[in-house]
Structure 1
Amino acid sequence: MSTVAAQPLPNTVDPRTARKVTLAGCVGIFAELYDNGIFGFMAGSLAAVFFPGSDNAVQLVFLGYAVSFFFRPLGAVICGHLGDRIGRQRMLVFVILLISAATAAIGVLPSYASIGIAAPALLILLRVAQGFSVGGEASGAMSFLAEHAPEGKRGLYTSYAQIASFLALLTGTLVAAAMTSGLGSARMESWGWRIPFLLAVPLGIAGIYIRKRISDTPNFTRLKEEDGLSKNPLKEAFASAEHRRAMLLALFIPLMNGSGYYVLFSYMPTFMSSELNFGEVQGLLVTASSLVAICIAIPYMGRLSDRIGRKKVLAGAAVAMAVVGIPCYLLIGTGNVALAVIGACVMAVVFAGHTGVIHILLVELFPTRVRYSAYGLGYNVSSALFGGTAPLLMTYLIDRTGNVNMPAFYAVVTALGTLIAVSGVQDRAHLPLRAQAAAAAALTGLQDFVRDTVRLYRARRDATVKLINDVARLSCTVPDGGFYLLVNCQDVIGQLTPEGNRIKNDEDFARHLLDSQQVAVIHGSAYGAPGYFRISFATSTDVLTEACERIATACTALTSSAAPSA
């Protein structure tokens, strides 16, 4: 008996619906990433308001920035579990509601001068809520967009989300620059710093409204209709060697994010004003220029990955960053605004090859059943270890060494790390997304089949052991995991059978002992155990053969879901 492995189902979402969903997803991502990024852009003002008089005020703000990243994996685990169980759309509404509320709450916090140590404590607590929310956002939003995207355009469609995330950073940069320039330091530290955080309210309302009006993805809906949803997605992911390996790749491939997103953009304005003696507005404008450059470059990189594959684009970006990282930071370090813009924009275009492709590559590593959970955990642990700590690490290293080129060295090291990690990935750019519903069903059926087979074997085995030991009075053993018995026949060699035939050896005994219709008997001399014979149950042998065929078929289905998918 054999079964046919189900073939992958290509995405049949019509382009108009896909564009509508992509726009809706991008609006939500814009709101989410604006809320998250404005904390970094307002670091100088937050330092003065919440840590007045401290020599390490900026470091303390970035410590709060870093702490929140360690709650991202928690957000990824909880939101990922629910997203794989009840749907992506519901969780995406929840995470934008949470981060909007947390960001707006920062905007109304009393200062240190008003309530003392409680002020920075509440600031960190709300930043933790932001981190939890972002942990559920990235993998959920990217999975949502990829599962809606037409075949052959997943890289392009998901790259739009990254444009939205960098437009959010650009908006935060311009808001911070405009307010700092227009209000001046005194008014910014008095009340102006609140305005960028309070903008989260209208952005959040818009994002929630749009996300509530879109349906869940075809992949998730189909899996739910087939009763193929995982009861415990993360447990299932850790139980699979393939998924464990994919989660490790999701941990190390995004290494370059640490030097790109979190240093080149979030940390750059603070770095330029505090370490390179640029004016605060000048630093923000250099960052704004690089953000414009990366927004232009990202869709081209996403589309290129649809044509030549994710792996080549990511590897090319890593090599390029390793080459240009130090020269570009040296241009920024000249103190000349024009040269700083050139250096930052070159790195931004190079980084576009990473950030425009990284998420769709990670989405494609996992099947629908565990995608939100497994991808989210791997990616957010990476962000916590190598991303959120990056601004704090750069501040610390520059302070200890006096070398302002530390961000350049970090860019090279993380780029090389990404290059090594991406070399071990299978490129699935030209294959349908993995759903794994049919493969999972085949595996579940196989497990039931094997349990039934073992139960049948044990029942027949026990009956035969009793016959041999009680009636024939021979020693019988059952090898671990064997579908056969080993019988000691040395004591009966030379004796007569009831038919009057003398037992000459183990082969002779095996021939006469049991009905060949019920068992297949192999004498011991044939496999190096003279004096014994092996009984392999004919029925069980046939069942075992069938089980092997079923195992092969199920493995083919699983392999198909890892290559053409299922």
Structure 2
Amino acid sequence: FAEWGWRIPFWLSLILLIFSVYIRLKLHESPIFQKMKSEGKGSKSPLTDSFFKYPNNKFVLLALLGATAGQGVVWYTGQFYALFFLIITLKLDYISAYTLIGISLLIGTPFFIFFGWLSDKIGRLKIILTGCLIAAVTYFPLFQGLTHYVNPALEEYSAKTPITVAATECLAPWNVPTPCDSARDFVTKAGLSFVTTDGPAGSAPTLTLKHPTASKTVQGYSAATWGAALAESGYPAKADPAKVNWFMTELILVIMVIYVTMVYGPIAAFLVELFPTKIRYTSMSLPYHIGNGWFGGMLPLTATAMVAATGDIYYGLWYPIVVSIMTLIIGAIFLSETKNRDIRTYDHSMLP
């Protein structure tokens, strides 16, 4: 697979590409846009009107911070960070991890339609913000639950074996890892929480394992020697499939995918209804792509860096939690419901 098998999905995607091109060639502009264009009411400078004229630029910023930023981090947490957590932190094998995520997506997919339908009944914004709220409140217990049900041996080892990493000079200049950075990264990727202390100036990183039967200290960082020390202390290098609670693991993953559907199902309709026709797509493109591409896309890297910096395998969850709470507060205070707006005639001047 590593040599050529990975290319197969890309070859198969050519079939989807053909269907995609065919469908796009058959699509027409929306009647609302065609009517606006025929009447000569379109924007002559959509970029200026969208991003440099008040109040539309205010709503572009509010859409980003009060809707799509939270939607982006909830999406990436449920579909991507959960996958990385299973594989990197909990040491579950690739096939099992991808299978679990795939099943959760299959089970959760109908909820995109459900929450889209529900937003037609009760409103878009309240569903999006509720999804952000529930996600922020439950991410810590859900990921702790994954640890408990996927790799109970790792959970037990971590509880019985406090780990300390003593090191200095832990800020990498120009992205060149220092021994301290490498040491922290090693323990983080082992799926273990640890305490960081300052070592003597100029000293090499030191690993201390306080196992109930015997404590061990390893001077100087080496992946081989630190790995051997962990193995000697009973560290479980892989999740044991026989000990995985598959049902509870899948249930947790499905719950997180349902959060994704809550924030994602109504977001397209919300953004469409938030802006007037003449600058609608230009205006909604920035908050959508920045919210998903930056706030969401940076989540795995940012969360992993936060874990390595603090030594807490759950600390990276503060990133999606803080962004979700930010979206909840800004969206609740500064944005209003859009489901009853007439997108054919809406303009910001109609707002009270």
TM-score, normalised relative to structure 1: 0.43
* Contact kept in structure 1, 2:303 and 2:315, CA below 8 Å: yes
- Change in 2 beyond 3 A, CA 1:374/1:249: same
AA at the equivalent of 1:302: G
2:44 aligned with 1:254: no
User: Shift of the alpha carbon at 1:259?
Assistant: 2.9
* Contact kept in structure 2, 1:314 and 1:353, CA below 8 Å: yes
CA RMSD of aligned residues (A): 2.0
User: Shift of the alpha carbon at 1:435?
Assistant: 4.4
Equivalence map 1:45-444=2 (5 Å):
188-252=1-65, 253-334=67-148, 335=150, 336=244, 337-423=246-332, 424-435=334-345
AA at the equivalent of 2:73: S
Equivalence map 1:493-504=2 (5 Å):
none
More helix by share: 1
* Contact kept in structure 2, 1:219 and 1:435, CA below 8 Å: no
Aligned residues: 255
- Change in 2 beyond 3 A, CA 1:300/1:346: same
* Contact kept in structure 2, 1:220 and 1:368, CA below 8 Å: yes
User: Shift of the alpha carbon at 1:251?
Assistant: 1.4
What is the alpha-carbon distance in structure 1 between the residues aligned to residue 110 and residue 292 of structure 2?
24
Higher relative contact order (CA 8 A, sep 6+): 2
- Change in 2 beyond 3 A, CA 1:259/1:377: closer
2:333 aligned with 1:559: no
AA at the equivalent of 1:218: P
What is the alpha-carbon distance in structure 2 between the residues aligned to residue 263 and residue 316 of structure 1?
16
Q: Secondary structure at the match of 2:313?
A: coil
Structure 1, residues 355-377: CA drift from partner, whole Å, max 9, x if none?
Answer: 11122111111111111111101
User: Shift of the alpha carbon at 1:250?
Assistant: 2.1
Q: Secondary structure at the match of 2:55?
A: helix
* Contact kept in structure 2, 1:268 and 1:283, CA below 8 Å: no
User: Shift of the alpha carbon at 1:395?
Assistant: 2.5
- Change in 2 beyond 3 A, CA 1:328/1:394: same
Equivalence map 1:18-37=2 (5 Å):
none
What is the alpha-carbon distance in structure 2 between the residues aligned to residue 306 and residue 294 of structure 1?
19
Residue in structure 2 matched with residue 185 of structure 1 by the alignment: none
What is the alpha-carbon distance in structure 1 between the residues aligned to residue 256 and residue 78 of structure 2?
8
AA at the equivalent of 2:94: E
What is the alpha-carbon distance in structure 2 between the residues aligned to residue 362 and residue 222 of structure 1?
20
Structure 1 residue runs of 5 or longer lacking an equivalent are: 1-187, 440-557
Percent identical residues: 28
What is the alpha-carbon distance in structure 1 between the residues aligned to residue 344 and residue 328 of structure 2?
25
Equivalence map 1:440-451=2 (5 Å):
none
Larger CA Rg, structure 1 vs 2: 1
User: Shift of the alpha carbon at 1:407?
Assistant: 4.6
Structure 1, residues 16-55: CA drift from partner, whole Å, max 9, x if none?
Answer: xxxxxxxxxxxxxxxxxxxxxxxxxxxxxxxxxxxxxxxx
